[in-house]
Amino acid sequence: MLHKVYHLSWRLFLMLLFLLGLAACATLPPVITVQPASPALRSLKVCTSSASPSQMNVQHALTQNLFSRYGIDVQVVEISGGSTAITALIAGNVDLCQIAGASIVNAGVAGAEVVLVGGVINQQPYYLVTRPEVRTSADLQGRALAVSGYGTSSYAAAVAVVERFGLTPDRDVAVLSIGGQSERMAAMAGGNVAGTVLSPPQAMLAVAEGYNLLFDFADMEQPYQHTAIVTTRKFLKEQPELVKAYIQATSEAVSAMHGNRESAIADMAAYLQLDPTEQAEALELTYDLLIRRLMQVRPMPSLPGIQALLDELIQENPQAAKVAPIDLVDTTILAELDATGFFTDLGVNP
């Protein structure tokens, strides 16, 4: 009998312990799994020229969210005119710019603390487009060509083609500063100038309207630092990782556009506000020439292309003769990316 009572008491004791354990568990705070926070994106202010296919690496990186992949939140500001962009860069209003190489070289020769860290397009992606009655170079004699401004890439291109025709700029053919491509087209339509230098797709659209395509600058096959990435030496020293992230994202964007024609053309049509159906031919030709042929995945600057800009500048600023292309360039970040195999992974042969 005593054995049964003892056995029962033991069972009651074990049940009591079990109930107390449940009560204790009920009073414990719930277990919460905390996910590690994503690192905050670092801000980078970038200036580009007005809407142009030469800025498609930036636009494609934006639409494909490539900047965030490399840890940066890029704010793009369009600034018309390279000298204005350089002024904003030096003032610290922007951190980095992707603009015409001519503007960078002009600033560097003048003593500005700017440095070219990447070359996006290393040839002139221009066409000389003329009025219907101007069919040969001889027809330019005594007439004028329109450019965006003095010291710009379009000015350099116009001077180069006039000289190639055996004519003298500003004696045989006037070179006039008119403004953007729409203003130059208006001047040509009104008969104020015989022609102008246009990049695609505007050149193709002008031809469709009845104008002549007198010269393709790609035929010159001469190095020319047309579009480049520039920052200040101070920013490069203090924030090299931000500059590196920009180069990585835009390089991946170029690689992606090379591999996906349809996606690139769709983005370009939206960016340039062109009809992808009615203006399909112009968009396709622009893609073939400017993006697929000229835009670099590995944006190594062209030292001969920079020298070409210095040679042009010497006539206006003799100080340019004392500057070597390497003085205006810093390829440290590109060398680092080469060493890690970054560009090889994007399909660029070492």
Q: Could you read off the pLDDT of 250-262 as tens digits, one per residue?
A: 999 999 999 999 9
The pLDDT score that the predictor gives to residue 149 is 81
pTM for the model stands at 0.81
- Please state, in angstroms and rounded to a whole number, the distance separating the CA atoms of residues 158 and 109: 22
List of domains in the chain: 42-123+224-345 (3.40.190.10), 127-220 (3.40.190.10)
The pLDDT of residue 41: 94
Q: In this predicted structure, what is the pLDDT of residue 25?
A: 44
| Low-confidence residues of the chain: pLDDT under 70 | 1-38, 350
Pairing of strands 144-147, 127-130: unpaired
151-174 in b/e form (b: 16+ CB < 10 A) is bbbbbbbbbbbbeebeeebeeebb
> What digits encode the pLDDT tens for the residues 53-95?
999 999 999 999 999 999 999 999 999 878 899 999 999 999 9
Specify the pLDDT at position 350: 59
